[in-house]
Structure 1
Amino acid sequence: MAAKKKTKKAQKKKQAAENEILVYIYALVLITLSIIGCLEIGFLGNLITGVIQYVTGNLYGVVYGLIIVFSFMWMLKKNISDVPLKYTTGVIVLLSAWLIAASLPNDEKLTGMDILSHFLGNSAQVFHGEQIGGGLIGAFLVSITTFLVDYTGTKIIIIALVVLGCILLISGPLFAYLRQGASAFQKPFSSMKENAQAKREQRRNKKALKKEEKVEKTSEQANTTPAKESMFGKINLEERVRPGQVSFLDVDDEFDIITDGRNDAFEPLASSQNAHEEEDEVVIGFGAASKAVQQQKEDKRIIEETIGKSDTFVSSFKEDWSKYKLPKLTLLNDIGKKARSTANIKAANESGQRLIEILDEFGVRATLMATHIGPSVTKFEVKPDLGVRVNKISNLQYDIKMALAAKDIRIEAPIPGKSAVGIEIPNMEKTSVSMKELMTSVPEKYQDKKMLFALGKDLMGSCVYGELNKMPHLLIAGATGSGKSVCVNSIITSILMRARPDEVKLLLVDPKKVEFTPYKQISHLLGPVITDGEEANRALKVIVAMMDKRYELFAMAGVRNIAGYNTYIENHPEDGLEKLPWIVVIIDELADLMLVAAKEVEASIQRITQLARAAGIHLIVATQRPSVDVITGVIKANIPSRIAFAVSSAVDSRTILDQMGAEKLLGYGDMLYIPVGETNPTRVQGVFVSDAEVQSICDFVSAQGKPKYEDAFFRLEAVDSEYAATQESADPLYEEVKSFIISTRKASTSLIQRKFSIGYARAARLIDVLEEQGVIGPSRGSKPREVLVRYEEDDFDE
């Protein structure tokens, strides 16, 4: 038996030694892997860091530290259970608060499981060296908290977790210090309290002695003066000294109230009666004062209610949009499949190899530098060898197109800023760009921009946005079915999702009568949707007048633009002025307006595009007929930002962009975008917004308020007459020429030239104005014009 016990003990010791060796091995392996991952050494280090970042986000450094610490504790044969539970819990709580805070998205419209879906959709970024907040754990926690208590509640939870974690970690030392500080702080006050109590006891004893002496004196006087007793009746001490008076004296002693003889309860009866009369007078006076105060409060309440009602009545004419809620991202469709699908990746690899082979066959030696798979087009960056001319690749455009069996290709030779040639080939599978994806990916620096709109994705897969107030105007052109109307809808939808009706106003011109139908009831409208060409011409004149009025306001306030004016209003609320909203004028089809009144429309567009930027008025012009008679040189010169969709010829492309390229586009949202300040276009796949998405957003907006139109857009018929009256009064000779023609009954340009010594142009203009006003008739060839107004009528008018 003894031998067996010795054998078992030996086996246990051997097993313990082996386990100890294994512990050292495991701990060293963990420490080694942590160091390799922390320093990101090689593929293994990047892989370990990527996995830990994916799970814990920005806390991967803390995770490495915890792994190393626990590994050393393991080697020193210390168990984690030896650590007090409150410290472990405190660390976990603080780390959870950090993960939640790091995972909060910048866009507060993204709530609930949308946050987790957005994280999973962008999780591949972590392996490219980008930070992704709190990782998978943080995204999961934030999705739960935002679903339950929204963003405000989530921030409160973060603060509560931080406070709880700090309490758990430092509760023992903290509370000990607090108790020591409290005891040290209470010592002087406790001694002061004891001294005050001692003094109060001394005063009470002295007053008690004085009371006893006065009682004895009063009893002696009562025995020696029976006449007074018969005069006033038998009055006992108990009847004169009531319990209530004694209690009042005690209360006065507590608060160290000094009393004199007049308030003494043991005075003779006459003095006590006088005292009671004085008390009654005081009480009556105080009651009257309290009634007066109550009456004043009641009057004040009635006045405030009256003012409140009147303010409510007055303010009902002004729209208060402080409670307006922006449309949520849940109104948009979910994100579809990504551009880098398996089929597109496989086709891109094959096409890249085939492309280099084709160039070699034609004697052009080149190297494939990079491949960029976009939503609808793949771009190959090809670097030709030294001595190879770039135009050799450009001349092989049709040969490459035939060899690759591509629908169409576009060659960018060279790529601006790179020593390479770009060859763009359509994808095997086209993928649409979701509006929801772009709105959830808005960079942080653009979060507060009201005029920002989502445009699409470029060939690199990056989101492309436009800021309308910096463009400041935009020209959109393309053939039918190329995606022009969808682009306009995406711009309007972006503005509706980011701005309140008091921040941005829209004026929509829809000659087709069907494009802007969903927007007829939104509260952002400056006026009703205009479908007539003549009314659109008048509406542009109203916009010009509004622009001039705004500049007058800017001059009075001493500011230069709308941003400065709104800042002035914020800093001077005593002026009672209101902020000015941005105005966006969108013309869906410019060609119809140019047919109605080409010169007047061109003049209005010229004035708006030249001067309206500082006034906060921006113009978006769209057309499906990009010819020189529609997009004139004046319009092109004043609209620097342009978007070209697929067109039928290189001439149309030159009309829009001043260069070729748009004729090679594929349609369905494929565009070339040139913002202000750029010379080379960027190829972008436009964002797709379905009719159902547009309708749901418009319903959400219109449910919060009906449109309030400007009065000027209700009387557009009077604009032409007012404009003519303005032209009439512009020439100081008008009335004199009118009187001369009516008196002489003759009207001709040469006669006015000779009589008033003016030039031909001015005389002809006066003749035209007189004809428009009905003073003279139209030209009748060789016969003189007929004067329609008689001298007697003119004299009667005077």
Structure 2
Amino acid sequence: MGKEITSIGYQLPPLELLNEYAADGNVVPEEEIAGKIDAVRNALGNGKVQVKDIKAVPGPAVTLYKVYPERKVSCSKVKGLMAETALGLHWKGVRVMTLDDSIGIEIANEHRALVPIRSVLSDDAFRNSEAELPVAIGQTFGNKAVVFDLAKAPHLLIAGATKQGKSVGINVIITSLLYSKHPSELKFVFIDPKLVVFSVYARLVKHYLAVLPGACSEEDEQDNAIVRTQKDADRILRSLCIEMDQRYELLSKAGVNNIRLYNEKCKSGHLNPEKGHRFMPYLVVVVDEYSDFAMSPWGCHETKTASRSITNSIVRLAQKGRAAGLHVILATERPSAGAISGVIKSNFPMRIAFRVVSRTDSETILDSPGAENLIGRGDMLLSDGIDSERIQCAFVDMDDEIEGITRYIREQKGHGKCCNSPYYLPHVEDATSESVDMHCLDDRFEEAAKMVVTTQRGYTSDLQRNLGIGYAKARLIMDQLEAAGIVGPQNGSKPRQVLVPDLNTLQPILDAFLKR
């Protein structure tokens, strides 16, 4: 990690693509620190808590005040006293916790400092990291860069309310990986129901993206490189499960138990490609707004089935993916218990919480309160399942820096297969394609086709109501209408698109399928 990777001519993005910001806010004024130390001492003294010493450890947005009491005192008592003081002095972001040698009180600075991503990526903690998938997420107290290994995480759960830093945090993780891993070593799968969050990364399709095969052209492949619909998300996650199983077979044949050892054997020439062995890149799956896919209480049967399939695939990947080099990042604005189930949480020990709306949301994501009291704009808690650390997330500009990085990577062409072709995942059939038999059409097929075209509404429930049939029969007819090209595929809870404009256009289609 300390030396630049230049194999087959590829160059990692230079730091010069990232903005430099004036370091005008990294120092908290001494008078501000002194005033808060006095206020903390007075507040604790009024509660009959005698203090031996208070030391301040400034951070970019929050300062840690380490309180050394004269005698042992409960943390809950200090929390109560500080809550009253914070209310009276209008302090924000106050958090109290027990440290190894003291009681820690975190208080927001009057002026926060920006943490540029350039500063954390140029830090020795990142540049000299031995991590397989190093992520420089931001800075903590003492302006110390925080770097963790996604490969050891091994999966990550992220939550945060709107405009509190969640999307920036995801881009910081992606940027860290792009600055540390060669295209042959890393591939991404982006699932983006918002349609715009990851669209800029589509230009990396030939360098860093894993896609399903079957695109009719390069343009179509790039247009669909970012997964945007529930149906496509279900397909690619099922394909990733197949990829994972295939990788486990290769690990078993090679006599190793993880991808790192396997790739070392592969690079040293100890594995025979004629027996199916191949160098395997890490696969990082990034799912934004997971709740949109995982919960469909008002959707039709197909939507609910796809939701269950998506959740099942993610659980499988989380349970077994680490050794095979598959790592999942789930992000959501709404960390409800319905979406973030106990099974999901048990397989995602590492979690990041930006500011959330309520204490309940904090307890859902972190199993403890605290995230509801963060000050926003990148203020976050990083939990490894045991301890949590308060960090100011680094900042990366989407319109400028991410644009420059992706453009720099895209312009590097002709450096071997890993830089001029996507990583193709195993083919997977549509969940419903095998069940549609067009040689044995339902006896109500023609009636249903005419009704759908006349009303221009592609609802299964309309077939049930207007034809007086049950759901199973209505669903079969709708699948047959899709196979005949009369309606489009299922689109979440929305109606299917009717592809035939009028009955005159419909008639030859019916004649062809009904053999008249």
The 5-angstrom pairing of residues 303-702 of structure 1 reads 322-337=8-23, 339-341=25-27, 344-386=29-71, 388-412=73-97, 414-415=98-99, 417-418=100-101, 420-443=102-125, 446-447=128-129, 449-522=131-204, 523-527=207-211, 528-572=225-269, 575-576=272-273, 577-594=277-294, 595=296, 596=303, 597-675=306-384, 678-691=385-398, 692-702=400-410
Distance 1:484 1:514, change over 3 A: same
Say if 2:150 and 2:327, in contact at 8 Å, map to a contact too: yes
1-structure distance, mates of 2:126, 2:140: 20
Aligned residue for 1:521, secondary structure, equals helix
1-structure distance, mates of 2:337, 2:237: 21
Shift of 1:335: 4.5
1-structure distance, mates of 2:91, 2:117: 29
Say if 1:665 and 1:671, in contact at 8 Å, map to a contact too: yes
Aligned residue for 2:104, secondary structure, equals strand
Q: Deviations over 1:558-587 (max 9, x none)?
A: 221111221222333672343111100000
Shift of 1:400: 1.1
Say if 1:335 and 1:436, in contact at 8 Å, map to a contact too: no
RMSD: 2.6
Stretches of structure 1 lacking an aligned partner (at least 5 in a row)? 1-104, 110-319, 726-775, 781-787, 789-798
1-structure distance, mates of 2:46, 2:239: 64
Shift of 1:435: 1.1
Shift of 1:451: 1.1
Say if 2:126 and 2:134, in contact at 8 Å, map to a contact too: no
2-structure distance, mates of 1:724, 1:658: 43
Say if 1:335 and 1:437, in contact at 8 Å, map to a contact too: no
2-structure distance, mates of 1:397, 1:349: 17
Amino acid at match of 1:333: N
Distance 1:630 1:106, change over 3 A: closer
Distance 1:366 1:662, change over 3 A: same
The 5-angstrom pairing of residues 96-245 of structure 1 reads none
Distance 1:444 1:639, change over 3 A: closer
The farther-off stretch of 614-623 and 386-395 is 386-395
2-structure distance, mates of 1:488, 1:347: 33
2-structure distance, mates of 1:564, 1:428: 49
Q: Which has the higher contact order (CA 8 A, sep 6+)?
A: 2
1:181 is aligned to none
Say if 2:185 and 2:280, in contact at 8 Å, map to a contact too: yes
Aligned residue for 1:700, secondary structure, equals helix
Distance 1:458 1:444, change over 3 A: closer
2-structure distance, mates of 1:436, 1:526: 27
- Number of paired residues? 409
Amino acid at match of 2:286: I
Distance 1:444 1:451, change over 3 A: closer
2-structure distance, mates of 1:481, 1:566: 40
1-structure distance, mates of 2:138, 2:347: 25
Distance 1:723 1:542, change over 3 A: farther
Say if 2:95 and 2:370, in contact at 8 Å, map to a contact too: yes
Amino acid at match of 2:182: R
Distance 1:373 1:666, change over 3 A: same
2-structure distance, mates of 1:489, 1:590: 16
Aligned residue for 1:514, secondary structure, equals coil
Say if 1:626 and 1:656, in contact at 8 Å, map to a contact too: yes
Distance 1:465 1:352, change over 3 A: same
Shift of 1:696: 0.5
TM-score (norm 2): 0.74
Relative to its length, the structure with more strand (as a share) is 2
2-structure distance, mates of 1:403, 1:360: 16
1-structure distance, mates of 2:434, 2:30: 62
1-structure distance, mates of 2:260, 2:8: 20
Larger Rg: 1
Shift of 1:707: 5.8
2-structure distance, mates of 1:323, 1:779: 57
TM-score (norm 1): 0.49
Stretches of structure 2 lacking an aligned partner (at least 5 in a row)? 212-224, 297-302, 414-418, 437-468, 474-479, 481-516
Q: Deviations over 1:76-119 (max 9, x none)?
A: xxxxxxxxxxxxxxxxxxxxxxxxxxxxx95669xxxxxxxxxx
1-structure distance, mates of 2:472, 2:239: 32
1-structure distance, mates of 2:434, 2:166: 34
Say if 1:526 and 1:708, in contact at 8 Å, map to a contact too: no
Say if 2:75 and 2:96, in contact at 8 Å, map to a contact too: no
Amino acid at match of 1:568: K
2-structure distance, mates of 1:395, 1:654: 20
Aligned residue for 1:322, secondary structure, equals helix
